[in-house]
Amino acid sequence: MTESPSDVDTDPDTVRREAGRRRTFAVISHPDAGKSTLTEALALLSRAIQDAGVTHGKSSRHATVSDWMGIEQERGISISSAALQLTYRDTVLNVVDTPGHADFSEDTYRVLAAVDSAVMLIDAAKGFEPQTVKLLAVCKARNIPIITVINKWDRPGLDALGLIDDVGERTGMTPVPLTWPVGIAGEFQGLIDLRASRAIALEAVGAGAQAAAETDVDIDALEPREAGAWLEAREESGLVESSNGSFDREEFEAARQTPVLFAAAAKNFGVSQLLDILVDVAPSPSPRPSKEAGPRPIEAPMSGFVFKVQAGQDSSHRDHIAYLRICSGSFERGMVITNQRTGKPFATKYAHRVLGRSREVVDTAWPGDVVGLVNATSLRVGDSLFSEQPVRFPDIPRFSPELFAVARAKDPGRYKQFRRGIDQLEHEGVVQVLRSDLRGDQAPVLAAVGALQFEVAAERLGTEFSAPTSLDQLSYTLAMRVSPESQGVPETFRGGEILFRADGEAVAVFGDKWKIGHFTKDNPGVVLEPIGAAVDD
Q: Answer whether residue 202 shows pLDDT above 90.
A: yes
| Model pLDDT, residue 52 | 65
Which runs of E-coded beta strand occur in 288-422?
303-311, 320-328, 331-332, 336-339, 345-347, 351-355, 358-361, 364-365, 370-374, 384-386, 403-409
d(CA 87, CA 22): 9
Q: What is the pLDDT of residues 283-339, one digit of tens each?
A: 999 999 999 888 999 999 999 999 988 875 555 545 678 999 999 999 999 999 999
pLDDT band, residue 100 (cuts 50/70/90): low
The domain ranges of the chain are 1-10+286-397, 22-281, 403-529
* Residue of higher predicted confidence among 104 and 180: 180
Q: Do domains 1-10+286-397 and 403-529 have the same CATH topology?
A: no
| Model pLDDT, residue 276 | 97
d(CA 32, CA 47): 25
| Model pLDDT, residue 314 | 54
Q: What is the pLDDT of residues 360-370, one digit of tens each?
A: 899 999 999 99
| Model pLDDT, residue 105 | 61
pLDDT (mean) for 260-273: 97
pLDDT (mean) for 144-162: 97
pLDDT band, residue 35 (cuts 50/70/90): confident
pLDDT (mean) for 77-93: 76
Q: Which fold has domain 1-10+286-397?
A: Rossmann fold (3.40.50)
Mean pLDDT lowest among 32-41, 133-142, 289-298: 133-142
| Mean pLDDT, all residues of the chain | 87
User: By the 8 A CB rule, do 43 and 65 touch?
Assistant: yes
Q: Answer whether residue 510 shows pLDDT above 90.
A: yes
CATH number of 22-281: 3.40.50.300
Q: Which residues contact 320 (CB under 8 A, 6 or more apart)?
A: 309, 310, 311, 374, 375, 376, 377, 424, 427
Mean pLDDT lowest among 54-63, 375-384, 524-533: 54-63
Helix (H) or strand (E) holding 510: strand 506-510
DSSP string, 151-195: E-TTSS---HHHHHHHHHHHHSSEEEESEEEESSTT---EEEETT
Q: What is the pLDDT of residues 19-31, one digit of tens each?
A: 999 999 999 888 7
| Model pLDDT, residue 92 | 96
pLDDT band, residue 271 (cuts 50/70/90): very high
Which amino acid, residue 483?
S
| Model pLDDT, residue 6 | 47
pLDDT band, residue 85 (cuts 50/70/90): confident
Mean pLDDT lowest among 62-76, 134-148, 229-243: 62-76
Q: Which fold has domain 403-529?
A: Alpha-Beta Plaits (3.30.70)
Mean pLDDT lowest among 151-165, 422-436, 521-535: 521-535
SS (H, E, C) 3-56: CCHHHCCCCHHHHHHHHHCEEEEEEECCCCCCHHHHHHHHHHHCCCCCCCCCCC
Q: What is the pLDDT of residues 384-412, one digit of tens each?
A: 999 999 999 998 877 788 899 999 999 99
Q: Answer whether residue 190 shows pLDDT above 90.
A: yes
Percent of the chain residues topping a pLDDT of 70: 87
| Model pLDDT, residue 59 | 41
pLDDT (mean) for 511-520: 93
Mean pLDDT lowest among 16-20, 377-381, 402-406: 377-381
Q: Which residues contact 110 (CB under 8 A, 6 or more apart)?
A: 81, 307, 308, 381, 396, 429
Q: Answer whether residue 273 shows pLDDT above 90.
A: yes
